[in-house]
Chain A
Amino acid sequence: MMTEEPVFSLLGTSAGLFEAPGHLMTLPTQQRIWSLAKVAQAWPEVREAVPGMNNLMLSFKTPPRRVDELEQRLLQAWREVSPLELGGRLIELPVTYGGDAGPHMADVVAHTGLSVDEIVELHIAPVYPVYALGSHPGYCYLGGMDARIATPRRKVPVLSIPGGAVSIGGSQTGVSASTGPSGWNTIGSSPMEFFHPDRDPPVLLQHGDSIRFRVERIIR
Chain B
Amino acid sequence: MIEILTVGALTTVQDLGRLGALRWGVGTAGAMDPMALAAGNLLLGNERGSAAIEVQVYPFRVRFTHDGAFAVTGADCAATLDGLPVLPWSAHRVRAGQELAFSVPQAGGRWRASRAYLCLPGGVDVPEVLHSRSTQLRGAFGGFEGRPLRRGDVLRSAASGAEFIASDIGLLPPALAMPLERDGCTAIRALPAAEYGRFTSASCVGFWRNEWKVTPHSDRYGFRLAGEALQRAAPMEMRSHGIVPGVVQVPPDGQPIVQMRDAQPSGGYPKFATVIEADLWRLGQAPIGSRVRFIETTWDEALAAQAELEAWLVEAERLVGLHRNSRGTA
Contacts from A to B (Cβ < 8 Å): 1-2, 7, 9-15, 17, 19, 25, 47-48, 50, 52-57, 59, 63, 65, 67, 132-139, 141, 177-178, 180, 195, 197-198, 201-203, 206
Contacts and interface: CB of A to CB of B under 8 A. Distances in A.
Contacts of A7: 194
Contacts of A17: 194, 241-242
26 contacts: A1-B198, A2-B237, A9-B271, A10-B299, A11-B193, A12-B247, A13-B277, A48-B20, A50-B242, A52-B266, A53-B239, A55-B242, A57-B241, A59-B242, A63-B299, A63-B303, A63-B306, A134-B264, A137-B21, A137-B24, A137-B138, A139-B25, A141-B266, A195-B25, A197-B139, A197-B141
Given A7-B194, A25-B239, A57-B243, 6 more contacts: A14-B277, A47-B20, A48-B20, A138-B139, A139-B25, A195-B25
Contacts of A55: 239, 241-242
A53 B282 CA distance: 32
Given A12-B274, A52-B242, A59-B244, A135 B266 contact: yes
A66 B181 CA distance: 29
A71 B19 CA distance: 23
A135 B25 contact: yes
Contacts of A14: 244-246, 277
B237 A13 contact: no
Interface of B: 19-26, 129-130, 136, 138-142, 190-191, 193-195, 198, 236-247, 264-266, 271, 274-278, 299, 302-303, 306
Contacts of B129: 197-198
**B24, B240, B246 — which one has the most chain A CB atoms within 10 A of its CB?**
B24
A2 B194 CA distance: 11
Given A11-B246, A202-B130, A195 B20 contact: no
B23 A10 contact: no
Given A1-B194, A2-B237, A57-B242, A133 B25 contact: yes
**A2, A12, A47, A136 — which one has the most chain B CB atoms within 10 A of its CB?**
A12
A110 B181 CA distance: 53
B22 A59 contact: yes
A124 to B, nearest CB: 24
Contacts, number: 150
Contacts of B276: 12-13
A143 B274 CA distance: 29
Given A1-B194, A57-B242, A135-B264, A11 B247 contact: yes
Given A14-B244, A203-B25, A180 B138 contact: yes
**A10, A17, A57, A137 — which one has the most chain B CB atoms within 10 A of its CB?**
A137
A201 B24 CA distance: 9
**A15, A141, A177, A195 — which one has the most chain B CB atoms within 10 A of its CB?**
A15
A203 B25 CA distance: 9
Contacts of A138: 24-25, 139
A67 B190 CA distance: 16
The 4 closest A-B pairs by CB, nearest first: A57-B242, A134-B266, A12-B274, A52-B241
Contacts of B245: 14
A1 B197 CA distance: 11
Nearest to B236: A1
B302 A12 contact: yes
Nearest to B130: A197
A13 B242 contact: no
A13 B193 contact: no
A203 B241 CA distance: 19
A67 B239 CA distance: 23
A53 B241 contact: yes
A10 B193 contact: yes
Nearest to A12: B274
Nearest to A133: B25
A15 B19 CA distance: 12
Contacts of A56: 242
Contacts of B242: 11, 15, 17, 50, 52, 55-57, 59, 134
Contacts of B239: 2, 19, 25, 52-55
B198 to A, nearest CB: 7
Nearest to A25: B239
Contacts of B22: 48, 50, 57, 59, 134
Contacts of A141: 240, 266
Contacts of B236: 1
Given A9-B193, A12-B277, A47-B20, A52 B139 contact: no
Nearest to B243: A11
Contacts of B25: 133-139, 177, 195, 203
A137 B194 contact: no
Given A1-B238, A135-B25, A197 B142 contact: yes
A47 to B, nearest CB: 6
B271 A11 contact: yes
Contacts of B265: 50, 134-135
